[in-house]
């Protein structure tokens, strides 16, 4: 009898131990299932984030390609409508510039716009009308021959010519004044050698620069008047030998 009781107690204790072990295993299994469920949920969230980022990248690439196509189209349009021996188009590092020799625009030492200059500016205004997002700077340049007119220096002359072009574009050719700025650099940004007549002729010019998007958006405050920026930066240049050539 006693032996049977002992065997029963042993079996009961063993069963209790196995039951406790099973409960522990079940608890661990529940915890593992909970972790797995959380991991699956996080994985789905990560997949959603990845899909969102992929979509954003695709949209940005599409926008970039559209912008590149528009830029190429604008350059082709300008070359077709404007380029000549006196009007050249350059595209350096994505910055599109129309260079107009001063003999097309102005008389020597003056800032009164000539008919040929008006015709060029009207063509530019017509092109800009089809690209409403574009902003431009009109930049006046001279050679390094000292000025012999009513202007105090080449800075004043270059700035006055740039402003004349801006006034024509905005007041006569219909360009929104908020899209335009005027800059005068005088003789300090030459593109050719001022020691030769040919070089000086190239340096006397009006440059119309299409602003990159990051610069065009830098100043978003609207204004009803022309946003004229008068810059007079001094930069070292190789001195040339002055001659009687006129601007």
Does residue 6 share a domain with residue 33? yes
Report the CATH number at residue 140.
Answer: 3.30.1330.60
Per-residue pLDDT reduced to its tens digit, 44-77: 888 888 888 888 888 887 777 766 777 788 889 8
In a domain, 39, yes or no: yes
- Separation of alpha carbons 50 and 150, rounded Å: 66
Whether 179 has a pLDDT exceeding 50, the answer reads yes
Whether residue 180 lies inside any domain: the answer is yes
pLDDT digits (tens, 9 = 90+) for 209-225: 997 654 554 444 444 34
* Residues making up the chain, counted from first to last: 247
Total tally of structural domains belonging to the chain = 2
* Residue 196 confidence (pLDDT) above 70: yes
Residue 215 is predicted with a pLDDT of 52
- Pair 209, 93 in one domain: yes
Is 116 within 8 Å of 226 (Cβ atoms)? Answer: no
Band of residue 203 on the pLDDT scale cut at 50, 70, 90: very high
In percent, the amount of the chain with pLDDT more than 70 equals 78
Same domain, 190 and 90: yes
Q: How far apart are CA 71 and CA 77, in angstroms?
A: 10
What is the 3-state composition of the chain as percent helix, strand, coil, each rounded to the nearest 5? 55, 15, 35
Split at pLDDT 50, 70, 90, the class of 237 is: very low
pLDDT, one tens digit per residue, over 71-118 is 788 889 889 999 999 999 998 877 899 999 999 999 989 999 999 999
Q: Which two tokens stand for residue 245?
A: 């050539």
d(CA 51, CA 56): 9
Domain termination site, one of 38, 69, 100: 69
Within a domain: 61: yes
Among residues of the chain, what percentage have pLDDT more than 90? 45
**Residues 193-217, mean pLDDT to the nearest whole number:** 84
More confident residue, 19 or 220: 19
Q: Which residues pair with 139 in a beta bridge?
A: 183, 207
pLDDT score, position 11: 63
With beta carbons less than 8 A apart as the criterion, state whether 127 and 175 touch: no
Confidence of residue 236 (pLDDT cuts 50, 70, 90): very low
Q: Is residue 78 part of a domain?
A: no
Confidence at 240, pLDDT banded by 50, 70, 90: very low
**C-beta neighbour count of 237 within 10 angstroms:** 13
Domain of residue 170, residue span: 83-216
CA distance 205 to 209: 12
């Amino acid at each position: 009898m006693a032996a049977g009781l002992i065997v029963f107690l042993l079996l009961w204790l063993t069963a209790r131990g196995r039951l406790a072990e099973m409960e522990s295993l079940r608890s661990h299994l529940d915890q593992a299932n909970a972790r797995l469920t959380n991991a699956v949920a996080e994985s789905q969230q990560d997949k959603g984030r990845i899909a969102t980022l992929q979509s954003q990248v695709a949209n940005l690439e599409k926008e970039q390609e559209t912008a590149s196509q528009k830029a190429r189209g604008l350059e082709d349009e300008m070359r077709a409508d404007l380029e000549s021996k006196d009007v050249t188009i350059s595209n350096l590092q994505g910055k599109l510039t129309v260079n107009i020799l001063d003999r097309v625009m102005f008389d020597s030492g003056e800032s009164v716009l000539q008919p040929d200059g008006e015709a060029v500016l009207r063509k530019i205004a017509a092109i800009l009308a089809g690209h409403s997002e574009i902003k431009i700077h009109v930049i006046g340049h001279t050679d390094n021959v000292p000025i012999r007119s009513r202007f105090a220096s080449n800075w004043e002359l270059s700035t006055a010519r740039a402003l004349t072009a801006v006034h024509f574009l905005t007041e006569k050719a219909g360009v929104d004044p908020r899209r335009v700025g005027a800059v005068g650099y005088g003789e300090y940004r030459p593109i050719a050698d001022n020691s030769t007549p040919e070089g000086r002729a190239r340096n006397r010019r009006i440059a119309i620069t299409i602003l990159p998007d990051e610069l065009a958006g830098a100043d978003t405050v609207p204004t009803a008047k022309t946003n004229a920026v008068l810059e007079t930066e001094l930069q070292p240049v190789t001195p040339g030998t002055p001659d009687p050539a006129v601007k």
